[in-house]
Structure 1
Amino acid sequence: MRIIWFLLPCLYLISFCIAEEGLEFPTYDGKDRVIDIDAKNYKKALKKYDMLCLLYHEPIPSSKELQKQFQMTELVMELAAQVLEDKHIGFGMVDSKKDAKVAKKLDLNEEGSVYVFKAERVIEFDGELAADVLVEFLLDLMEEPVEFISNPSELRAFDNIDQEIKLIGYFKNEDSEHFHAFEEAAEHFQPYIKFFATFDKGVAKKLTLKMNEVDFYEAFMEDPVTIPGKTHTEEEIVEYVNEHKRATLRKLRAQDMFETWEDDLDGSHIVAFAEEEDPDGFEFLEILKEVARDNTNNPDLSILWIDPDDFPLLIAYWEKTFKIDLYKPQIGVVNVTDADSVWMDITDDEDLPTAQELEDWIEDVLSGKVNTEDDDDDDDDDDDDDDDDDDDDDDDDDDDDDDDDDDDDDDDDDDDDDDDDDDDDDDDDDD
């Protein structure tokens, strides 16, 4: 599955359409900017750039098809390097076999992943390897880890962020040791989780925050949870976020899609497909939010929402793999290893399932009553049906053969009778 997502960026590389000034999408100019990282140059590269973005890849394959795929991946890195050339960001490639010693020193361990070195930190990019997604990720990483909220309009913008985890703390000023601990903690999760801070009493009052207090907002939840304790160290904040970052309802995003997909529960995901811009999809999403809010304290429940509009090139693949129609909302349980799946029966096009019906179905999933083994049983039944059909065909063939044999015997008897009659006629003539 990862290979399919790995190749999507190519569409961005072959856009040669003539555009008006101001809307010209970049195309690769042919200049080599990506460094082949080895034992001789990796230290120099780390010192030269504010951020160094390295793709850790398996050895260059021998087959022509795989070589083309590798070249397409190189083009993604080259285009990103070209676009960000003025941002002091370096790009490089590390061969897992040829440069194994360098990979070990840099602690690169997952082939196909991109690692970004920024100051003393290493951030793994585990998303769709498309030039625009990678560039957006790196630009977000260049920003400060904490964003400040200082007026009502900024507070409204903060309130509108509801599809991802966010934290906000109230501190005396930027010199506060408690703010510094909060800021250090934010760097651990940048750019995946957003951290906000305010030094304004009015903003803090509207958020019902006390001095040095930090609120944690789970994705799609209306009310925050205050992190226990009057003050918090960097380690305490990091530990709390790590324990609670798997939301009850979370959205699949291009920038961390592989990490999210791998963060399953017992090898499976409850997956919901819904287009937010579609009326039925929007209604279904609101029902999912209601279910998630009612079950936010259930550690065994995590629903992964996928908006097909975010991944148009994967729609046909998902429909074929899961045998579903993505032009209407769907919810099912998916085995992340073999993509076996079972989907809730939503046959009525007029009425979507209620929150209670969804909760009942989810309860069946969590109890094991509904599981992907049911899909295997259905496949076995199909195989049995095919075998029965084959047996019936064989029986029909045997019957046909018997009928043919009988017909042949009858024809032989008729021929013998005709021969006897001819002999009798000859005898009469002789007489």
Structure 2
Amino acid sequence: MKGPWLVLAALCLALANLGARAEEGLDFPEYDGEDRVININLKNYKAALKKYEVLALLYHEPIEDDKASQRQFEMEELIFELAAQVLEDKGVGFGLVDSEKDAAVAKKLGLDEEDSIYVFKDDEVIEYDGEFSADTLVEFLLDVLEDPVEFIEGSHELAAFENIEEDQKLIGYFKNEDSEHYKAFVDAAEEFHPYIPFFATFDSKVAKKLDLKINEIDYYEPFHDEPVTIPNKPNSEEEIVDFMHLHKRPTLRKLKPDSMYETWEDDLDGIHIVAFAEEDDPDGYEFLEIIKEVAEDNRG
């Protein structure tokens, strides 16, 4: 999958994108001063998990007595409070877990990395690997609320699917929603949601345009038009998950605020190349095309 020297290129199409999301995306209000974030402990954690469709927990180290540490924690808490205010009507809860005072509940919940955000939905636990800002966190949690599999029905949705170039994606063709093979696909999608989008179609015309056979699943790397078909269809949940664990770190990726730290988390036996370019600029566009070619040459 990865070449001998270009293991991963994290591509930022526009450097300004990292700082402009709040202006271009959600319209954030001023914090109203109401306390919505819960201090999670052994007595209330089960009730919190039951109450909210999605629960985001900040697992933090003990707050030191110095002003700098206290100020840092206050800023993090304020980000959580603002996100909680924005998502109050969406069934999303927010909580704080002190790694020292609440060590027992942290152990029960499987929290093991301080200064990390863990997101609980149903039986899934998602470690948030993005920028610690209210706008990025809110957009990520809105994605978490969505279903893990999106349907492709008709030419307009197919065109939208084909226009997704910057993200890795999977699509499967199944008989209907009652198909056991579709259900296995959904179960696998939940493990990678919302970082990797999964799509499904029950439409034979859509499948024909994508050259998909019944119960077949295709995986697309970012910036690649030609997919890789998961072998040995129909596939079980385990087979899909195993395939994605082998392929989920493509050669070329776009650096995004909601997954920027995930880019660096694995031990890689090679070189990280980070390319910055403005895609709307002719020189920048040409540079990006060169980067794509280099990544293709080093695609294993």
The TM-score with structure 2 as length reference comes to 0.89
Aligned to 2:161: 158
Aligned to 2:145: 142
Aligned to 2:118: 115
- Are the structure 2 counterparts of residues 24 and 249 from structure 1 closer, same or farther at C-alpha, using a change threshold of 3 Å? closer
2:248 alignment partner, one of 239, 245, 251: 245
Aligned to 2:193: 190
Aligned to 1:82: 85
2:49 alignment partner, one of 23, 41, 46: 46
Aligned to 1:283: 286
Q: Which runs of 5+ in 2 are unaligned?
A: 1-17
Q: CA RMSD in A?
A: 1.8
Task: Give the whole-Å Cα distance in 1 for the aligned partners of 2:113 and 2:197.
Answer: 25
Deviation at 1:192, TM superposition (A): 0.2
- Are the structure 2 counterparts of residues 292 and 54 from structure 1 closer, same or farther at C-alpha, using a change threshold of 3 Å? same
State whether residues 59 and 117 of structure 2, in contact with CA within 8 Å, keep that contact through their aligned partners in structure 1: yes
**1:98 paired to 2:101:** yes
Q: Which structure's relative contact order is higher, taking Cα pairs within 8 Å and 6+ residues apart?
A: 2
Aligned to 2:234: 231
Q: Secondary structure at the match of 1:255?
A: coil
What is the total number of aligned residue pairs between the two structures? 280
Deviation at 1:63, TM superposition (A): 1.5
Shifted more, 236-245 versus 59-68: the winner is 59-68
Task: Give the whole-Å Cα distance in 2 for the aligned partners of 1:256 and 1:78.
Answer: 21
Shifted more, 36-45 versus 275-284: the winner is 275-284
**1:72 paired to 2:92:** no
Shifted more, 24-33 versus 101-110: the winner is 24-33
Deviation at 1:294, TM superposition (A): 2.8
2:277 alignment partner, one of 252, 269, 274: 274
Identical-pair percentage: 67
**1:27 paired to 2:27:** no
Aligned to 1:261: 264
Deviation at 1:24, TM superposition (A): 5.8
Task: Give the whole-Å Cα distance in 1 for the aligned partners of 2:138 and 2:222.
Answer: 24
Deviation at 1:262, TM superposition (A): 2.2
Task: Give the whole-Å Cα distance in 2 for the aligned partners of 1:50 and 1:272.
Answer: 38
Match of 1:143, as an amino acid? Answer: E
The TM-score with structure 1 as length reference comes to 0.63
Task: Give the whole-Å Cα distance in 2 for the aligned partners of 1:115 and 1:179.
Answer: 28
Q: Secondary structure at the match of 1:122?
A: strand
Task: Give the whole-Å Cα distance in 2 for the aligned partners of 1:167 and 1:208.
Answer: 14
Match of 1:97, as an amino acid? Answer: E
**1:181 paired to 2:190:** no
Aligned to 1:168: 171
Q: Which runs of 5+ in 1 are unaligned?
A: 1-7, 16-22, 298-431
Task: Give the whole-Å Cα distance in 2 for the aligned partners of 1:78 and 1:267.
Answer: 40
- Are the structure 2 counterparts of residues 273 and 105 from structure 1 closer, same or farther at C-alpha, using a change threshold of 3 Å? same
Task: Give the whole-Å Cα distance in 2 for the aligned partners of 1:268 and 1:65.
Answer: 35
Deviation at 1:78, TM superposition (A): 0.1
Aligned to 2:216: 213
Deviation at 1:263, TM superposition (A): 2.8
State whether residues 83 and 138 of structure 2, in contact with CA within 8 Å, keep that contact through their aligned partners in structure 1: yes
